[in-house]
Each structure stands twice: as C-alpha cells, then as structure tokens.
Amino acid sequence: KKPDVIIDFSHPTVIDELLEYCRENNIPLVIGTTGFLEDGLKKIDEASLEIPIIKATNMSIGMNILFSLVEQTARILNGRCPLDIEVIESHHNRKKDAPSGSAKTIVASIERGLGEERKHVFGRSGQCPRESGEIGVHAIRGGNIVGTHEVNFIGEMETIKITHEAHDSSIFARSALLAAKFSN
C-alpha cells in the first residue's frame, strides 16, 4: 500500500532514492534530516516544485519559535548598541555533526534579523580576541542530552538569553506528525 506521507529522519546520503520514490508515487515528504550538501539541498528544492515537502532542521515547535525570536531580537537590537552574539548547542555524545543543523539555522535566523552575513567562529582556543560583529558557535557533546540551544545577545550593560531545551526526543516525532498532517 502506498503511504500517505513519508517522514524522514535518516541520513543525507539517501535523499536521491527518497526523492525519486516520492516523486514517482506523488507522496508528500517531511524531512527532518540535517547535514545535506548543496547538491542535496538543490535536489530537495527541485522536487518541492512537484510534490509537497516540509524540510526543517528541527521539528520541535519550540525550536521554530526560538528561530523566530532570535531573528526578531537581532533585528530590534541591530545598530542600537554594541552587541556580541554567541550560540551554544548541547547534544548527546553520539551526535555526529557539529555544530548541529539547528545551530546553523539559529545563525541564519540571526543574520536575517541583522540583514547581513557575519563571520562565524567555531569554538575558541589559544589567542583569539573577539572581532567586532562575529558570531560565536559552540558545540557540547555529552551523556544523553536530547538537545539544548542557547543564544546570547551580550551588550556592555545587559545580556539577553534565549534558550530551548528538549527533554524527550519524542517531541521531534510528535512535531513531525503534525507536519505530515499539514503536508497531506
């Protein structure tokens, strides 16, 4: 029996076969996989002209609210005060990619709010004085952390922190099911 929708949390290397199957069978696709190279992203964009596709670096509703909040915060604060921005993400010790796809989406959201791309500094070690305007990105891997993302907008006299913490990985499945209902 043909599925009503396919939800994919597998690996970026299977995208060609997955898109081909969905296109041939006119099946909507929800993609929660991250780590795609430019070629894979281009193929997803092309397929989205033929079939419904929802692609998100994080399916959690809370994380998608965080993406919006950091964009708005960056837009509001931009140019009003000297601002250092740091993104810290934490995941379990088995996570393969660093920084996470969600951290990359956070940085992209911040840059949309700022209206420009910035230099990204991944971790810090040795002599590395902070350059004006850069965005620091840090990855922590340990234990069974489901996922924590924190964004710090640090000014001279105050700091704004926006944080999301997933307590149970089932949140991603629940949110993907909501996306599947929307796409079908």
Strand arrangement of the beta sheet that strand 29-31 belongs to: 6-8, 29-31, 53-55
The active-site residue out of 91, 104, 149, 164 is 91
User: Among residues 32, 69, 55, 31, which one has the least CA distance to residue 164?
Assistant: 69
The C-alpha atoms of residue 93 and residue 64 are separated, in whole angstroms, by 24
Q: Catalytic pick from 43, 95, 120, 138?
A: 95
Residues 6 or more apart in contact with residue 129 via CB below 8 angstroms: none
Verify whether residue 167 is a known catalytic residue: no
Amino acid identity of residue 138, one-letter, is H
146/160 Cα distance (integer angstroms): 23
Let me know if 92 is a catalytic residue. Answer: no
Catalytic residues: 91, 95
